[in-house]
Amino acid sequence: MNFRTAFPRRIVFERSGVDKLPELLSDLELSGKVMLVTGRRFARESGYLDKLRSLLAKSGASDVVVFDRVEPNPSAETVNEGGEVARREKVDFVVGFGGGSAMDAAKGIAVLAAQGGEISDYYYPAEVDPPVLPVIAIPTTCGTGSEVTRYAVISERSRKNVVVSDHIVPVAAVLDAGVLDHLPKEILAHTAMDALSHAIEACFHVKASELTEVFSAESAKLIFESFGPAYDGDPEHREKLLYASMLAGLAINLSGTVFVHGLGYYLTEKYGIPHGLANSLFLVRLIEYCSEKASERFLSFCGRLGIESEECSKVLAEKINAMRGHAELPASLREAGIPEAELQNIVEQALSYSRNIENCVKPPSKEDLEAIVRKAF
């Protein structure tokens, strides 16, 4: 068994954990000027923008520079702009508050603030070495796990690009389930599907280890158990989804994602389908593929889920379909509004994300992907 990864130095998981920011910054010896990176609406409308400003001021930050221009699927243009502001303001550390978009943008800005250039200079397979400004990540959704990961996904020229480095893992993650009280159920459904994608895909990556399976299986079990009540507004189950999302983030830190993400990217970039929803359209197909092509790994995962091996593929598909039905999510590409004429384009674009295709424990061929997409339609 072999693995290597990087985790945050501090993880604070508790309701009202945001209130612990001053204590956390003191423990981490972070001071000076801070940039608060967030989206365009939620932080301001929910009152968290003012609250975070006040907490950061109490922590001894000399100044708080607010960068609240991050859009869903953050663009290279936005991240480059944030990096320019951070350099001009001589920022000392960064706080990312939001969903995966805000946290990924914060990571990219932390690289640019310390090293300059444009974010495209750091896209995989480029190596990101120090210096990188410290990042504290505070998630407001229960899906991406970006608060604990070594990835930042940036959109440019209708493509998803990734920055990968242990050096962009946040120094601290603050998971405050109280923030999820403000999360609309539609976004909860989409982001929970993203977390489930991470949990399952991580197990079928070439770098998956026993530790990956530990995080993945626990995450998947919690998502299956808590999705319905969380969608209906139960705060305890929303907290469990937040925990499950973090576990799935730790899982992909140890390995990565495979072809579900590669197939879903085109749907998000071309049609604006939310990332987690796009992934969900291919999850059952991944289970079918891996039960046949990677049976040993599949049976191991099923064992950790406590599902009898001969029934596992069927049971997992039923659980995913039940989640979709509860939230009234589309169950096929056709239901999601994707024209049949686009199926080949989905395949071609997926093949261009070689990292996601080739790192599957049994890499699918073009013909395999064509069959998968056809079934998903």
8 Å CB contact between 333 and 277: no
Q: Please tell me the predicted confidence (pLDDT) of residue 5.
A: 84
Look up the pTM and report it: 0.97
Domains of the chain: 10-179 (3.40.50.1970), 184-376 (1.20.1090.10)
Check pLDDT > 90 for residue 308.
no
Q: Please tell me the predicted confidence (pLDDT) of residue 61.
A: 87
**Rounded-to-integer distance, Cα 254 and Cα 251, Å:** 5
8 Å CB contact between 76 and 156: yes
8 Å CB contact between 186 and 143: no
Q: Element (H or E) spanning 284, and its range?
A: helix 275-293
Q: Report the chain's mean pLDDT, rounded to a whole number.
A: 96
**Rounded-to-integer distance, Cα 221 and Cα 44, Å:** 34
In this predicted model, what pLDDT tens digit does every residue of 219-268 receive, in sequence order? Answer: 999 999 999 999 999 999 999 999 999 999 999 999 999 999 999 999 99
Check pLDDT > 80 for residue 1.
no
- Name the nearest CA neighbour of 283 among 351, 333, 225, 353: 333
Q: Is the peptide bond before 131 cis (omega within 30 degrees of 0)?
A: yes
Q: Say which residues have a Cβ less than 8 Å from residue 155's Cβ, sequence separation at least 6.
A: 73, 74, 75, 76, 161, 269
Q: Please tell me the predicted confidence (pLDDT) of residue 229.
A: 98
Question: What tokens appear for 41 in the block?
Answer: 């609406």
Q: Say which residues have a Cβ less than 8 Å from residue 276's Cβ, sequence separation at least 6.
A: 143, 189, 190, 191, 192, 193, 194, 195, 197
Classify burial at 292, counting beta carbons within 10 Å of its beta carbon; exposed 0-12, middle 13-18, buried 19 or more: exposed
How open is the CA angle 258-259-263, to the nearest 5 degrees? 140
Amino acid at 8: P
Amino acid at 90: K
In this predicted model, what pLDDT tens digit does every residue of 337-361 receive, in sequence order? Answer: 999 999 999 999 999 999 999 999 9
- Name the nearest CA neighbour of 265 among 173, 347, 147, 180: 347
Q: Is the peptide bond before 125 cis (omega within 30 degrees of 0)?
A: yes
Check pLDDT > 80 for residue 270.
yes
The Cα-based distances of 127 to 87, 92, 246, 254, 257 in angstroms read 21, 22, 25, 17, 19
**Rounded-to-integer distance, Cα 88 and Cα 91, Å:** 8
Question: What tokens appear for 333 in the block?
Answer: 């590409």
pLDDT band at 3; cut points 50, 70, 90? confident
**Rounded-to-integer distance, Cα 76 and Cα 161, Å:** 9
- Name the nearest CA neighbour of 94 among 42, 34, 54: 34
Packing angle of the helix pair 295-305, 185-203 (nearest 10 deg) = 130
Residue 104: DSSP 8-state: H
**Rounded-to-integer distance, Cα 122 and Cα 129, Å:** 10
In this predicted model, what pLDDT tens digit does every residue of 195-210 receive, in sequence order? Answer: 999 999 999 999 999 9
Question: What tokens appear for 344 in the block?
Answer: 């080949």
CB atoms within 10 A of CB 179: 26
In this predicted model, what pLDDT tens digit does every residue of 135-150 receive, in sequence order? Answer: 999 999 999 999 999 9
Q: Which residue has the tokens 């977390």?
A: 195
- Name the nearest CA neighbour of 166 among 316, 373, 9: 9
8 Å CB contact between 101 and 72: yes
- Name the nearest CA neighbour of 244 among 314, 307, 180: 180
Check pLDDT > 80 for residue 72.
yes
Q: Got the DSSP string for 171-211?
A: SEEEE-GGGGGG--HHHHHHHHHHHHHHHHHHHTBTT--HH
